[in-house]
A and B are shown apart, each in its own frame.
Chain A
Amino acid sequence: MGVAVLLKQVPDTTAKISISGGRVDEGSITKWSISPYDEYALENAIQLKEAGFGDVVAITCGPARAAKCLTEAAAVGADRLIHILTDSYLDSIQVQSLLSAAVKETGFEVVMCGKQAADTNSGSTGPGLASTLGFSCVGGVTGVSIDGGLAYATRLGPSGLEKVEVGGPCVFTFDKGDSELRRPNVRGIMMAKKKPIDSLLPNDLGIGDSNSMVVIKDHSSPPEKQPGQKFVGSESVPEVVEKLRGEANVI
């Protein structure tokens, strides 16, 4: 029994991104963080652990710098840390395969992750993992509790709150949760220092990390936002109305 939490390291949402030579310049990114929706998944997993559901395993897939995510997870209570170490660019299928293999090795049947990563926003990892593992998938949840062998997930439906009951193995993808994210404390940080990270190479899981089906051709900055137009005086009203109708298409 226990929860596997998938964490992705992304540039901090407030970090400045610069492009150099047609690529995002990773060296210029001053702060890397756990993707925000993943943090809600981690928080919920720790709460389940505190309720007696078992250990929390935190899993990440990425280059060496991604290990920091695992240490941060350990500082708030993750018990076991798995780092699938790769420098390669991976397509979604590869990510899902690697993470699935790692989850399978834990034997855990409850998996939690963010509904989408803050950098790629594709949202495919959770459902893709569920499909590969043959687990159910409940998306966009705000909280999960477990009672008598069944999981109860809450999420926002079109007309109100939905409560979903799930028996059997399941992947839960998280939206912004109900709970406040706990802060680490000094004791947690000092214990996290002592927690070993299981570092695996993709080949250790029997999966290669080359031959991504997706190749990035280049990155470029979005076009600069045009400065707004300024209109002064009541004589300009007809012109403004015309622009709102003809250019902005809001009337």
Chain B
Amino acid sequence: MAYEALDFYDIDSLLTEEERMVRDMVRDWVEDRVLPNIEDACRDGVFPDEWRVEIGEMGILGAPLKGYGCPGLSYIAYGLICQELERGDSGVRSFASVQGSLAMYPIWDFGSEEQKEKYLPGMAKGELVGCFGLTEPDYGSNPGDMITRAEDKGDHFLLNGAKMWITNGTIADLAVVWAKLEGEIRGFIVEKGDEGFSAPEMKGKHSLKASVTSELVFQDCKIPKDRILPSVKGLRGPFSCLNNARYGISWGAVGAAQSCFNSAREYALSRIQFGHPIASFQLVQNKLSWMLREITKGQLLAFHIGKKKDDGSWIPEQISLAKMNNVDMALEIARMSRDIHGANGILDEYPVMRHMANLESVKTYEGTHDIHNLILGRHITGIQSFTREP
């Protein structure tokens, strides 16, 4: 049966024809190429290279960026792309988020003309893969105290340190790495072949298994002087990137929730127990109704913040709200959906537990749930409560 993406308040009618066509293009690709193969990819712990190529061919990487071969789509279109990719799998959407919002975006906004010309066109086609090095083994929610450092050696920079939890790291051609130069956070472009740089893959994940997660290790890593991002200093750099990725994730979570809701609804209508489909029982209807409410609210949040991204009237706290709310509700819906599927819900015949496991990572990365909570708390009260310092 055709996939019916829940759209109870008819967001579809608010989209332009172009946005709808982009969404349908990605939805069809996910149906044809991801869904039949995702369980194998997940089981084997691989991100199939063909998907990188096909995603590149669709021209959806770096969706909202303009110029240098980038798509130049609206933020709504970017959101829809994330929604459809994540309906397939959060790992697939992570590939695109990292490539577009965390690797292409900083070069586009903070790079030199030469850097933009050199990297962006190839990245837009998926021919050059990028990753984003901010998080360290000992510095996650507190990136400001990072210890990866860069030293100016006259004719080159020398990088030392390590990054962890880096999506795409092992397959990346370049990494946008944030390190302290004389105590101040700057962005550096490290390329795969640079001396002293390695990107081993992290193994043993129970979540985002169809995604490449890596460490980035810098041991006296020498990079040419022209690799520094000239136009940004401090945490503003990485945080701008994260805001873009978080926006996409708020839509992606809706896609994962829609997938789990769809599966639960179809299962409930066909599963007979005590002589009736379980969809006829009140407790099941209560759960489905809750899911419908939360997905609808999440869609409206995502759509509205998308409009604000497009007209420039947004603030970061609004994105924190959308990311936090939508990922939260998606994880609850995945769990509830598993419950409705009964024992069958643990099989990979259904997508629910895969989404459930993935969403644990999505709830943690790009700002944990708790951190976004405190971002909003600071906005409401004017008082920061991240640390004990005044």
Q: Chain B residues near A189 (CB, 8 Å)? A: 18, 21-22, 25
Interface, chain B (partner A; CB < 8 A): 1-2, 4, 17-18, 21-22, 25, 28-29, 54, 57-60, 63, 71, 73
| Residue on B nearest A187 in the bound complex, by CB | B59
Q: Please tell me if A84 contacts chain B, counting CB pairs below 8 Å.
A: no
Across the interface, do B25 and A184 meet the contact criterion of CB distance under 8 Å?
yes
Across the interface, do B21 and A183 meet the contact criterion of CB distance under 8 Å?
no
Across the interface, do A183 and B57 meet the contact criterion of CB distance under 8 Å?
yes
Across the interface, do B17 and A186 meet the contact criterion of CB distance under 8 Å?
no
| Residue on A nearest B19 in the bound complex, by CB | A189
Known: A12-B2, A16-B2. A183 touches B17 (CB 8 A): no
Q: How far is the CA of A15 from the CA of B4 in the complex (A)?
A: 9
| 8 residue pairs from A and B, CB less than 8 Å apart | A14-B2, A30-B4, A183-B25, A183-B58, A186-B63, A186-B71, A189-B18, A192-B21
Q: How far is the CA of A72 from the CA of B58 in the complex (A)?
A: 14
Number of A-B contacts (CB under 8 A): 43
| Residue on A nearest B81 in the bound complex, by CB | A186
Q: How far is the CA of A29 from the CA of B71 in the complex (A)?
A: 32
Interface, chain A (partner B; CB < 8 A): 12, 14-16, 30-31, 71-72, 75, 183-187, 189-190, 192-193
Q: How far is the CA of A204 from the CA of B22 in the complex (A)?
A: 34
What's the minimum C-beta distance from B81 to chain A, rounded to whole angstroms?
9
Q: How far is the CA of A184 from the CA of B63 in the complex (A)?
A: 15
Known: A183-B57, A186-B58. A193 touches B18 (CB 8 A): yes
Known: A12-B2, A30-B2. A185 touches B59 (CB 8 A): yes
What's the minimum C-beta distance from A231 to chain B, rounded to whole angstroms?
21
Q: How far is the CA of A72 from the CA of B63 in the complex (A)?
A: 20
| Residue on B nearest A11 in the bound complex, by CB | B2
Q: How far is the CA of A78 from the CA of B17 in the complex (A)?
A: 18
Q: How far is the CA of A14 from the CA of B2 in the complex (A)?
A: 5
Q: Chain A residues near B71 (CB, 8 Å)? A: 186
Name the one of B2, B28, B73 contacting A183, with C-beta atoms under 8 angstroms. Answer: B28
Q: Chain A residues near B21 (CB, 8 Å)? A: 71-72, 75, 184, 189, 192
| Residue on B nearest A13 in the bound complex, by CB | B2
Q: Chain A residues near B1 (CB, 8 Å)? A: 14, 16
Name the one of A15, A71, A186 contacting B22, with C-beta atoms under 8 angstroms. Answer: A186
What's the minimum C-beta distance from B117 to chain A, rounded to whole angstroms?
19
What's the minimum C-beta distance from B116 to chain A, rounded to whole angstroms?
19
